[in-house]
Chain A
Amino acid sequence: MASITLKINSKTYTLEADPKMPLLWAIRDLAGLTGTKYGCGIAQCGACTVHLAGSPVRSCSIPVSAVANKDITTIEGLSADNTHPVQQAWIQEQVPQCGYCQSGQIMAATALLRKTPSPTDKDIDAAMQGHICRCGTYPRIRKAIKTASQLMTQKASAK
C-alpha cells in the first residue's frame, strides 16, 4: 500500500492503493468514478479508455503508480451536461444501445478528432478497431464520428 496522488478531471485525489493496482480499479473503486468501464482487463476491448495527457490509454493495463500526478480525463470530465460535440453527435445519431461500451468509444473518438479533425473511414477504422461493442453499434459510431467532425468545424468557424 502506498499513498498515490491522481489528477482526474482537474481534481486531485489522494488514494491509498497497491502501486500495481490498474488505474481502472483506482478510478472506479477508490475515486468512485464509475463512468469508466471494465470489459476485459487485458487491453482487448477498450471499455476502460481514458485520456492520459490527452492521449487515449487502456486504464485496465496501466498501474496506478505510473500515472501519479499526470493529467487524467475520464468520461465524466468530457462534459457533464453533454455539450461536448462528440456527445452531441452520439445523441444525434442515437448510437448507444446498452451503452456499456460507449464511454470508451467516446473517449477514443474524442482523441481521434483532436488529432485528425476530418477523419476518413480508414482513420476511423484504425482508431476505433480496438473497441468492442457487443450490441453492434458500429455503423452508428462511424456516422457519429463524422457528425462530430462537422459539429466541431461549425463551432470553430463560429468563433
Chain B
Amino acid sequence: METKNLSRRDFMKLSSLAGAALTVGFYFPANAKEASVVTLDTAENLGIDLNAWISIDTSGKVTITNHRSEMGQGSFQSVPQIIAEELEVDLNQVNIVFAQGNNAKYGSQITGGSSTVRGTYKKLLNLSATAREMLVEAAAKKWNVSKAECYAENGHVIHKPSGKKFHYGELVAEASKLTPPTAVKLKDPKDYKILRKPMPRQDTPMKVNGTAMFGLDKKLPGMLYAVVERNPRFQGKVKSFDDTETKKVPGVKHVLAVKMSVFNTLREGVAVVADSTWAAMQGRKVLKVEWDDTGFDHVSTEQLYAKMNDDLKTKEGLSFKTKGNFAAAVEKADKKLDVVYETPYESHSCMEPVNCTAHYQDDKLEIWGPIQGPDWVQDLLSPLLDLPKEKIIVNMTFLGGGFGRKAFMDYPHEAAVISKVIKAPVQVVWTREDDTTQGPFRPGMVYQCAGGVKNGSISAFKAKLAGQDMDHQWPGAQKDSYLGSTTEGFLEPYFESIPHYSFSDVPLDVPIPVMWWRSVYASTNGFAFESFMDELAHEAGKDPLDFRRQHLGNERYQTLITKLEEVTGWKTRKKNEGYGVAITECFSSIVGEVVKVSKKADGKVKIDKVWAVMDCGWYVNPDIIRAQVEGSVIMALGAATVHATHFKDGKAVEQNFNTYKMPRIIDTPEIEVHVVDNDEKAGGVGEPGLPPFTPALTNAIFDLTGKRIRKLPFALEEV
C-alpha cells in the first residue's frame, strides 16, 4: 500500500536515520480501546500504518516526531520531555522533527483546546517505557543474564551486579527484533527526573539568534509574494477591478481574482503577485476594486449591541442547562440582583500576521505555514481542490502566535488557489491591517446575570448569553441549537451547591466571522460569572473568598482557595488596598487569580500585583506553565483595558497597533504564579490562565473604589 511505504520513507527522511534502528510507535487495533505498541518492522509486515514516534539509531541518537504545532505554548518542549523521562535519556540526546499533516497516523493534530499534553501524555509515557524495556531485554539477552538484574539510565543499560554497560545504540538491532511487552510499569511522579522540572526549552536558542523558521521565513526557488485586497465587509462579490496602475508597478507579475472558503461562504478578493512583498503592497495600493455587497447588512457596533441587549429582554433563549425552579426561588430570596455585562469583539493579532506559502504543481500541493491544524487543512482542501489527501502535504513552521486564529483554514486555501493559477510557488502575506480587520474575531457577548441569596448563600442563579455561536457558521448548521459553551469557565461544584439555576443563550445571526480566541467562550463567560459571584458575595455581606469556599465543597477547590489565601496575604490586606479574586475552570484546569490594586498619587488606579494558582493536574514543566500564565494575564489585560474591535458600515474599524493598542512592558504588573502538585488528570496550560484575570481585576477595583465595572474594555486611567 502506498501510504505505508510513504510513511516509512517519510519518517526515514524526516529523522535522517542511519542503518538499523529501533522504531516503536502505537496504533489502534480495530475495536480496541487502548493503543498497541509495535515496532516499525512488525507494522510493515502486518500492513499497519504506524504512528512513528520514537526511533533510536545505532549511534544512540533518539528521534521523536512532534505531531503538534508550536506556537509559543511549549509543545516543542513538552512532548520530548515526557518521552525522555520514561526512555531514560538526556533531553539533549533527543532530536525533534515536525511531522507533516496526517491524521490517519497521528490522530487529530489540531493544536487547540490546550490539548497537546492532556490528550496524549499517557500514550507517550507508555510508548517510551516500552522502548526502554525492549532495550533492557536486549541487553539481558546479550549478556545472558536475568532482565531483573539490569536497568536503564541516561541512554545506557547497566548490569547491576557487574557494572557492565551497553550504550542504547549498541542494542537497537537486537531490540528491534523483540516483541514489545504488553504491560509496562510507569514511574511514580515523585521519582521523576525530567518531568515536572523547569527544563529549558529546546527552541529557545534558535529564537534568540533569528534562525527559528516562521511561516514568513519560508523561501522557495522562484517564489513570488502576494497580498490580497479582500472585501472589507466580509461578504459579497468582486464586481470588477481595474489593474492598469497596478501592472505598471515594477515587480508586479500577476493580478487575479481569488476566493477562499470562510465557513459557509467564499470570501472574495483580488490578489497582487510580485517579486517582493513590497512590490506587491505597492501594486495593491493603486488597485481599484468594486464590490457588490447586495444582501449584506452594513452592521455597526451600536446596532450589534443594541440587538443583543434587546434579545436578552425579549427572547426566551435556548436552554442549555437548568435545575430546580429559578423563577420561584429568586422570588423568595433575601436579596436579588439582575445585571448586564458586556464584552467586546477582539482580533487575535498574533505577532506574526497570518501568511501561507503554497506550491501547486503536477496535481500535487505542498504548503508551508504557521498552521495549528495541518490535518484539518488536508480535510478542507481535498474536496475544494479536488485532490486526494495524500497529494496535499502540509508542513508546519514555527507559529508567531496562534491563539485559535491559525486553526482556521482560509489562508492556506487562498494560497493554494493563487499558486495553482499562477503556476508558481507563492507566499501570501497578510499585512497587519489585513490581519486586524479580516477576522475571524472573538465574538462580542452580552450577559444577563440574575440571582439571589438566602441565608448567606446562593439560592438562585441565572445566566443568559447573547452573541454569536461559532458552530452556527458552518454550512448546514442548525441555527436553533443552543450554544454548547454556555457554561464554559463555570466551576463544576457550583452545579451542586446552587439549588436553582438556569443557563441559556440567544444566538446572534450576523455575517461577521468568529473563531476560537485563547480560552474561547471562557474568556468572556468568566468575566460575567465571576463578577456576578463577587456581586452576590457583596449582597450576602460575605468575604468574596470565603463566599466561594462555602460554595465549592470539593477538596481540589478548597486546596486552591487556601493556597490563594496564603500566597496573597488575603487575610492581612490593608484598608487602602483593593483585592479581587476570581476562579474559573476550562480545559480541565482550574485557575484562581487575585489582583491587588491601589491608588497612585494622582488618584488613578494602578495594578500592583497579580497572583495565580494553577491546578492543571499532572503536568510536564512548571516553568512553561508559569510563562503561559504570565502571558495569559497580559493578553487578558489587553482585552480588558486597551483594545477592542469595533464595526462601522459593515467593516472593522481598528486596523493596526496605533488604534488596536497592545499592553506594553510599562503596563505589566508583577505576576506570581504557583502550580499545584497533584496527580489529577492532566489539564490544559495554554489557555486556562486567561479567564480569571479580568474579573479579579474589576473585583479588586470594586473593593478599592466601590465602582462596579460591567462593560469591557475600560480604561484604567478613567476609573
Contacts and interface: CB of A to CB of B under 8 A. Distances in A.
A14 B1 CA distance: 51
A67 interface: no
A138 B628 CA distance: 12
B665 A98 contact: no
Contacts of A44: 656-658
A38 B353 contact: yes
25 contacts: A33-B210, A34-B210, A35-B209, A36-B210, A37-B216, A37-B400, A40-B656, A41-B656, A45-B351, A45-B662, A75-B210, A87-B208, A90-B208, A96-B203, A98-B350, A99-B212, A99-B400, A100-B401, A103-B210, A124-B665, A128-B664, A128-B665, A134-B662, A135-B72, A136-B634
A95 B71 CA distance: 14
Residue of A37, A81, A135 most packed against chain B (CB within 10 A): A135
Contacts of A156: none
A15 to B, nearest CB: 10
A12 interface: no
5 shortest interchain CB distances as A-B pairs: A35-B210, A100-B400, A136-B634, A98-B72, A99-B207
A44 to B, nearest CB: 4
Interface in A60-107: 74-76, 78-82, 87, 90-91, 94-103, 106
Interface string A38-61: 111110110100000000000000
A120 to B, nearest CB: 13
Given A39-B352, A134-B401, A134-B635, 16 more contacts: A37-B352, A39-B353, A41-B432, A42-B432, A44-B656, A47-B351, A75-B209, A80-B211, A82-B209, A90-B208, A96-B201, A97-B73, A99-B72, A99-B207, A129-B666, A136-B630
A141 interface: yes
Contacts of B632: 136
Interface in B317-351: 349-351
A128 B662 CA distance: 13
A36 B464 CA distance: 47
A146 interface: no
Interface string B633-677: 111000000000000000000001110001111101011000000
Contacts of A80: 209, 211
Interface stretch (B96-104, B274-282, B373-381, B545-553): B274-282
A151 interface: no
Nearest to B211: A35
B357 to A, nearest CB: 12
A133 B631 CA distance: 9
A132 B630 contact: no
B205 interface: yes
Contacts of B73: 97
B351 A132 contact: yes
A39 B432 contact: yes
A87 B402 CA distance: 25
Contacts of A103: 210
Contacts of B623: 94
B204 interface: yes
Nearest to B282: A18
Contacts of A28: 216, 277
Nearest to A22: B278
Nearest to B200: A94
Contacts of A82: 205, 208-209
A18 B250 CA distance: 8
Contacts of A32: 219
Nearest to B348: A134
A158 interface: no
Contacts of B214: 34, 37, 99-100
B279 A96 contact: no
A71 to B, nearest CB: 18
B431 interface: yes
Given A94-B201, A139-B671, A29 B277 contact: yes
Interface string B420-460: 00000000010110000000000000000000000000000
Interface in B42-95: 71-74
Contacts of B11: none
Contacts of B630: 136-137, 139-140
B208 A136 contact: no
A93 to B, nearest CB: 10
Contacts of B353: 38-39
Contacts, number: 184
A48 B429 CA distance: 16
Interface string B397-411: 011111000000000
B297 interface: no
Nearest to A102: B207
Contacts of A38: 216, 277, 353, 429
A134 B350 contact: yes
A34 B670 CA distance: 33
A92 B82 CA distance: 22
A14 to B, nearest CB: 16
Interface of B: 71-74, 198, 200-201, 203-214, 216-217, 219, 225, 250-251, 276-279, 282, 349-353, 398-402, 429, 431-432, 623, 627-628, 630-635, 656-658, 662-666, 668, 670-671
Nearest to B433: A41
Interface of A: 1, 18, 21-22, 25, 28-30, 32-42, 44-45, 47, 74-76, 78-82, 87, 90-91, 94-103, 106, 124-125, 128-129, 131-142
Contacts of B657: 39-40, 42, 44-45, 132
A138 B71 contact: no
B72 A29 contact: no
Nearest to A90: B208
A141 B627 CA distance: 12
A58 to B, nearest CB: 12
Contacts of B351: 37, 39, 45, 47, 98, 100-101, 132-135
Contacts of A42: 432, 656-658
A138 B632 CA distance: 12
Nearest to B662: A132
B393 to A, nearest CB: 22
Residue of B71, B210, B350 most packed against chain A (CB within 10 A): B210
A18 B671 contact: no
Nearest to A130: B664
A25 B427 CA distance: 14
A12 B683 CA distance: 52
A89 to B, nearest CB: 9
A138 B400 contact: no
B642 to A, nearest CB: 11
A18 B210 contact: no
Nearest to B279: A18
A138 B276 contact: no
A96 B204 contact: yes
Nearest to A47: B351
Nearest to B429: A38
A37 B214 CA distance: 10
A134 B400 CA distance: 9
Contacts of B201: 94, 96
Contacts of A133: 351
Contacts of A91: 200, 204-205, 208
A25 B656 contact: no
Contact of A78 (B209, B277, B352, B668): B209
A125 B667 CA distance: 9
B217 A139 contact: no
B635 A136 contact: yes
B349 A134 contact: yes
A129 B623 CA distance: 25
Contact of A125 (B213, B216, B628, B665): B665
Contact of A90 (B204, B219, B429): B204
Contacts of B200: 91, 94
Contacts of B216: 28, 34, 37-38
B209 A135 contact: no
A136 B633 contact: yes
